[in-house]
Amino acid sequence: MPVRVDVTPNPNALKFTVGTPVGGPKTFVAGQETDDPLAAELLAIDGVTSIFMTADFVTLSKTPEAGWDTITPKATEILERHFAG
């Protein structure tokens, strides 16, 4: 299923619906160690500050200076690859 991206009330957060259970609820924050490979890959995107996973979606938060036009395609590609099939 293609990832669906939705805005949230917070301009620094986007909801990425992947259409399959993601586990959780789990929260990951930039600068903290994680053994979750998906979270580590998403946190490696420049500007991403935190990740919240639950149900069938992942919410990414970013710094106010970062642009969604750079983050969204990278995050979508990672999520589609991880949840493909």
Nearest-angstrom CA–CA distance, 68 and 29: 18
Q: What is the pLDDT of residues 16-55, one digit of tens each?
A: 999 999 988 999 999 999 999 999 999 999 999 999 999 9
The alpha-helical segments, DSSP class H, found in 1-83 are 37-43, 68-82
In 3D, which of 1, 4, 3, 12 has the Cα closest to residue 60? 12
Domains present along the chain, CATH in parentheses: 4-82 (3.30.1370.70)
Q: Cβ atoms within 10 A of the Cβ of 38, count?
A: 20
Please write the tens of the pLDDT for every residue from 6-20. 999 999 999 999 999
